[in-house]
């Protein structure tokens, strides 16, 4: 499977997962529109990945981890993400194809690794 097909497959799955998490919240309270709307970390990660093609494993890992990771990254709060690149995941032997395989890494460990890379607040280099 080529990288473009894999990217679109992961993007569609991620959008579906976000919809499952976001719809109940959207129905529970009216959404404000206008300048107060913020771009979520998840939306930013997808946009950066599309441009750089270097975060495919991260997107696959978010999908394979506990749903709490998607909820955290979908939050509009102030967070800073130290996003591991595909090369960083490769050092652990993880690729977009095997990151969901529990024989390679269990969901609890994967969730902990991803949560470790998210810090509350806005941190600038």
Residue 37 lies in a domain: yes
> Is the separation of the CB atoms in 10 and 18 below 8 Å?
no
Residue 103 lies in a domain: yes
CA distances from 119 to 11, 12, 68, 111 (A): 24, 27, 15, 14
Q: So what's the pLDDT on residue 91?
A: 92
Residue 125 lies in a domain: no
Q: How far apart are CA 6 and CA 42, in angstroms?
A: 18
Residue 78 lies in a domain: yes
Residue 33 lies in a domain: yes
Please count the structural domains in the chain: 1
Residue 53 lies in a domain: yes
Domain with 99, as residue range(s), is 3-120
Q: So what's the pLDDT on residue 87?
A: 93
Task: Give pTM, 2 decimals.
Answer: 0.64
> What is the mean predicted confidence (pLDDT) over 118-124?
83
The count of C-alpha atoms lying within 13 angstroms of the C-alpha of 86, restricted to the half-sphere facing its C-beta, is: 16
Q: Which of 33-37, 55-59, 72-76 has the highest mean pLDDT?
A: 55-59
């Amino acid at each position: 499977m080529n990288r473009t097909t894999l990217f679109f497959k992961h993007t569609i799955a991620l959008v579906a997962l976000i919809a499952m998490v976001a719809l109940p919240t959207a129905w529970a309270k009216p959404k404000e529109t206008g300048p107060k709307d913020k771009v979520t970390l998840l939306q930013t990660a997808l946009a950066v990945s599309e441009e750089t093609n270097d975060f495919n494993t991260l997107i696959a890992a978010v999908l394979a981890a506990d749903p709490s990771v998607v909820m955290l990254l979908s939050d509009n709060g102030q967070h800073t993400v130290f996003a591991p690149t595909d090369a960083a995941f490769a050092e652990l032997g993880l690729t977009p194809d095997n990151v969901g395989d529990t024989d390679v890494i269990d969901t609890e460990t994967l969730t902990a690794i991803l949560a470790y890379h998210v810090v509350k607040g806005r941190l600038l280099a």
